[in-house]
Structure 1
């Protein structure tokens, strides 16, 4: 999978936040190149705001949970502890769920269906560039705990 020790760290580069920013940009480019006949409404804007606020709250909860577990939130750094509390009781990747919600929320706020259409593409790229490597890292570092946790808790929701 990689040419470095997966047990040391899952990645060399913090892909997920950069992928989110890139997909937001791609959504705006697509909106200009291939516009949909959709306009912003107060309901779509409110819904977008709610999605983004919920995502930020979820990210904050996950960050606080990582901090309490004395491990890193950075997706390219090695973990010291397998975190299974807080939002990690419901999702193995609550921050990435938050990223998907932010992308959809931006689309609703901006009246850009392209952002909503790009949500599955963001999920797939995050899986490829981050989740697969993070799960290999966790399996290498927590050979007994990880399989039980992964069997019990869904990847997304």
Structure 2
């Protein structure tokens, strides 16, 4: 602990007892470049996803103001959860830019819980609201890892 010129104590490394979790693991320019790439992909993907929910679905990501129709276009054509994917990439990107292994760990932990919520609650709610239309969409569209190639025919044969 050091004392600032004002006489108020401050800490240089609040987690100095856990250096491998705080900083020590992520070193080098590689992680900064990786982080910039992840932010450059994740941020626009998140914004695009929210825009499509509002413009085409006439709703928001907020559960109290959900979309009025099932969205299957834009980023939702490639995966069912592009907003979550974009946000995950954005947070991981910032963690790599800042070189904080603890932020990588906490981001991954948070998204495990988010994906459990989506699978256990949100997908059931969407199925109840949109019925067979959602079930078809769910069968032909991956949960998180997008298909970046365009389909000419749905898997259902439609």
**TM-score, length-normalised on structure 2?**
0.70
Query: Is 1:53 matched with 2:37?
Result: no
Which structure has the higher relative contact order (CA within 8 Å, separation 6+)?
1
**TM-score, length-normalised on structure 1?**
0.70
* Bigger radius of gyration: 2
Runs of 4+ more than 4 Å apart: 29-33
Cα distance in 2 for residues equivalent to 1:38 and 1:44: 10
Deviation per residue, 1:83-142 (Å, 9 max, x gap): 001111111101111121122112211111222233442222112334532211211111
Aligned pairs (5 A) from 1:123-134: 123-134=111-122
Cα distance in 2 for residues equivalent to 1:68 and 1:135: 21
Cα distance in 2 for residues equivalent to 1:138 and 1:112: 36
Query: Which blocks of at least 5 consecutive residues in structure 2 are unaligned?
Result: 1-12, 146-158
Aligned pairs (5 A) from 1:114-125: 114-125=102-113
- Pick the structure with more helix per residue: 1
Query: Which blocks of at least 5 consecutive residues in structure 1 are unaligned?
Result: 1-28
Query: Is 1:73 matched with 2:60?
Result: yes
**How many pairs does the alignment contain?**
129
